[in-house]
């Protein structure tokens, strides 16, 4: 289960500044519907997840696997980051390059680049493909444009009726432009509950259908989330409380970091989760993600000796699938033959330990979250951990974790610039 080691940050505050009791009351209020009723439905997803929901998603994933060599997932923000994070974390960042019995999965509609779309079209080539269009409203411009492109391709290749059988929609169950379109065209659809916002929707059909299409055991994901709620809630509340105590001490930026490349998109999802939940009313901890050891060769200098407005959270994956060892090579004069025979994991762990100590010595509060492995169960637990910590942290800051009014500002300007208003 997820375990938090917060000892590396406690020296930067007075323990009396922590408020886990208040965090517990806020979380109980979320569970009871007294707080955040409009956006706290994600808390119940692991518990309400049942056989029918699971079977519907698995059957659709099975059809996609049976008739498609590629699945195009169309969405932006919370409508794609969680699914991509799950596939990278559980399967591989190189998932599409692996030999496998499941389809390649391409994520589009998360930018406005024609070059990117044309490259994905070229990668699909003449292979059979399906589309999963994920949007609560159906009116966000990036995924809307991408859907037009790929719907047109499907229709040209399979005809109007054939295209309809290859389009899977994940959207609001009762309203919105995409809901109306799905009903009118007869697309198979999956609901995004009305009280679940995009960034909190990983453990709904938003994340589960693409994950299942990639061959991930979604039952295990949900079981991991439930287990987290039973065993790690106290750690999530402590993490939330400590973040806020450090924020009040002037630590305005949180760096999340991991030493495994498979975590990269989980870090991107985490940025959206915390950035949109906390960054409002002139408040908020700025969330940044760094890939270590890679980013130590670009940002390491700043972290070590730059302005002391940083706090740092290390995500440590305790076990590795790889047993790859460092070979002996007498032709190389790099001084590393002393490491011959060791698993590369031991070097990665040594680097993590060294970096944590260096940053602590440099005046950066360090928190650490231990994740057992890169399984579906661990991923589900990690998602639930961060969502609980984020919602409580925002509430401790006295901001609404479930709205994002600032996001609409650029959309209004964009639509005006395009003459769509």
Instruction: Answer whether residue 139 shows pLDDT above 90.
Output: no
**pLDDT given for residue 369 in this prediction:** 98
Residues 391-401 have pLDDT tens digits of: 999 999 999 99
Q: Where are the domains of the chain?
A: 3-34+222-396, 41-216
Residue 19, both tokens: 């408020």
Instruction: Answer whether residue 331 shows pLDDT above 90.
Output: no
Rounded Cα gap, residues 97 and 99, in angstroms: 7
Strand-pair partners of 71:
105, 130
| Percentages of the chain per state (helix, strand, coil), in multiples of 5 | 55, 15, 30
Instruction: Answer whether residue 51 shows pLDDT above 80.
Output: no
**pLDDT given for residue 415 in this prediction:** 85
Rounded Cα gap, residues 287 and 278, in angstroms: 10
Q: Indicate the CATH number of 3-34+222-396 among 3.30.70.2740, 3.40.50.10490, 3.90.70.10, 3.40.190.10.
A: 3.40.50.10490
Rounded Cα gap, residues 28 and 21, in angstroms: 11
Q: Give start and end residues of each alpha helix (H) in 71-215.
A: 81-86, 114-124, 141-164, 177-185, 205-213
Residues 98-132 have pLDDT tens digits of: 999 999 999 999 999 999 999 999 999 999 999 99
Instruction: Answer whether residue 363 shows pLDDT above 80.
Output: yes
Is 260 within 8 Å of 322 (Cβ atoms)?
no
Is 46 within 8 Å of 225 (Cβ atoms)?
yes
Is 65 within 8 Å of 207 (Cβ atoms)?
no
pLDDT band of residue 332 (cuts 50, 70, 90) is confident
**pLDDT given for residue 170 in this prediction:** 97
* 3 state SS of 364: coil
Rounded Cα gap, residues 219 and 228, in angstroms: 14
Query: For residue 180, what are the CA distances in angstroms to 116, 131, 133, 166, 172?
Result: 29, 18, 14, 18, 10
Q: Mean of the per-residue pLDDT values for the chain?
A: 95
Is 4 within 8 Å of 235 (Cβ atoms)?
yes
Q: Is 67 left (phi over 0), alpha (psi -120 to 50) or beta?
A: alpha
**pLDDT given for residue 410 in this prediction:** 83
The packing angle between helices 20-32 and 233-248, to 10°, is 120
Provide the percentage of residues in the chain whose pLDDT is more than 90. Answer: 87
Please identify which residue in the block is written with the tokens 């409002």.
Answer: 280
When pLDDT is averaged across residues 192-209 and rounded to a whole number, the result is 95
Q: Indicate the CATH number of 41-216 among 3.40.50.300, 1.10.3720.10, 3.40.50.10490, 3.20.20.70.
A: 3.40.50.10490
Sign of the CA dihedral with 333 first, then 337, 342, and 348 last: negative
pLDDT band of residue 372 (cuts 50, 70, 90) is very high
The residues annotated with a catalytic role in the active site are: 276, 297, 411
Instruction: Answer whether residue 174 shows pLDDT above 80.
Output: yes
**Residue scoring higher pLDDT (64 or 331):** 64
The packing angle between helices 233-248 and 376-396, to 10°, is 40
∠299-305-311 over CA atoms, to 5°?
75
**pLDDT given for residue 211 in this prediction:** 98
Sign of the CA dihedral with 278 first, then 279, 283, and 287 last: positive
Cβ neighbours for 3, distance < 8 A, ≥ 6 positions apart: 232, 235, 369, 370
Cβ neighbours for 302, distance < 8 A, ≥ 6 positions apart: none
Query: For residue 361, what are the CA distances in angstroms to 9, 12, 118, 246?
Result: 12, 12, 48, 17
Among candidate residues 119, 117, 175, the one with its CA nearest the CA of residue 147: 117
pLDDT band of residue 408 (cuts 50, 70, 90) is confident
Provide the percentage of residues in the chain whose pLDDT is more than 70. Answer: 100
* Maximum CA extent, the chain: 69
**pLDDT given for residue 92 in this prediction:** 97
- pTM attached to this predicted model: 0.96
Rounded Cα gap, residues 318 and 349, in angstroms: 9
pLDDT band of residue 416 (cuts 50, 70, 90) is confident
Residues 56-92 have pLDDT tens digits of: 999 999 999 999 999 999 999 999 999 999 999 999 9
**pLDDT given for residue 330 in this prediction:** 84
When pLDDT is averaged across residues 224-252 and rounded to a whole number, the result is 96
**pLDDT given for residue 79 in this prediction:** 93
**Residue scoring higher pLDDT (68 or 414):** 68
Strand-pair partners of 254:
287, 311
* 3 state SS of 65: helix
**3-34+222-396 with 41-216: one CATH topology?**
yes
When pLDDT is averaged across residues 304-328 and rounded to a whole number, the result is 95
Among candidate residues 304, 363, 296, 386, the one with its CA nearest the CA of residue 11: 363
């Amino acid at each position: 289960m997820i375990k938090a080691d917060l000892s590396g940050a406690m020296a930067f505050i007075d323990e009396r500044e922590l408020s886990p009791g208040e965090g517990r009351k806020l979380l109980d209020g979320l569970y009871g519907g007294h707080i955040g009723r409009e956006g706290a439905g994600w808390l119940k997803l692991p518990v309400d997840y049942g056989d029918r929901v699971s079977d519907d998603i698995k059957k659709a994933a099975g059809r996609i696997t049976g008739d498609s060599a590629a699945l195009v997932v169309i969405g932006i923000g919370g409508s794609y980051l969680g699914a991509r994070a799950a596939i990278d974390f559980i399967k591989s960042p190189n998932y599409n390059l692996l030999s496998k019995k499941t389809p390649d999965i391409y994520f589009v509609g998360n930018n406005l680049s024609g070059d990117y779309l044309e490259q994905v079209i070229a990668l699909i080539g003449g292979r059979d493909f399906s589309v999963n269009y994920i949007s609560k409203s159906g009116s966000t411009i990036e995924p809307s444009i991408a859907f037009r492109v790929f719907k047109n391709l499907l229709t040209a290749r399979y005809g109007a009726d054939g295209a309809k059988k290859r389009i899977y929609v994940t959207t609001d169950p009762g309203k919105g432009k995409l809901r109306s379109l799905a009903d009118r065209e007869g697309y198979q659809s999956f609901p995004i509950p009305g009280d679940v916002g995009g960034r909190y929707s990983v453990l709904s059909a938003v994340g589960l259908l693409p994950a299942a299409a990639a061959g991930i055991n979604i039952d295990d994901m949900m079981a991991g989330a439930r287990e987290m709620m039973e065993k790690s809630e106290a750690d999530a509340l402590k993490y939330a409380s400590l973040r806020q105590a450090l924020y009040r001490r002037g630590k305005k930026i949180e760096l999340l970091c991991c030493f495994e490349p498979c975590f990269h998109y989980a870090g991107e999802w985490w940025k959206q989760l915390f950035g949109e939940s906390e960054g409002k009313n002139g408040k908020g901890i700025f969330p940044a993600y760094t890939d270590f050891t890679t980013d130590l060769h670009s940002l390491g200098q700043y972290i070590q000796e730059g302005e002391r407005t940083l706090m740092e959270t290390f995500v440590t994956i305790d076990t590795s699938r790889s047993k790859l060892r460092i070979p002996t090579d007498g032709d190389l004069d790099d001084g590393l033959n002393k490491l011959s025979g060791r698993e590369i994991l031991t070097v990665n762990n040594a680097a993590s330990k060294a970096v944590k100590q260096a940053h602590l010595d440099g005046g950066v509060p360090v928190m650490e979250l231990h994740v057992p492995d890169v399984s579906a169960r661990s991923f589900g637990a990690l998602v639930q951990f961060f969502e609980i910590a984020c919602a409580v942290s925002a509430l401790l800051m006295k901001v609404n974790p479930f709205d994002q009014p600032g996001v609409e500002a650029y959309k209004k300007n964009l639509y005006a610039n395009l003459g769509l208003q």
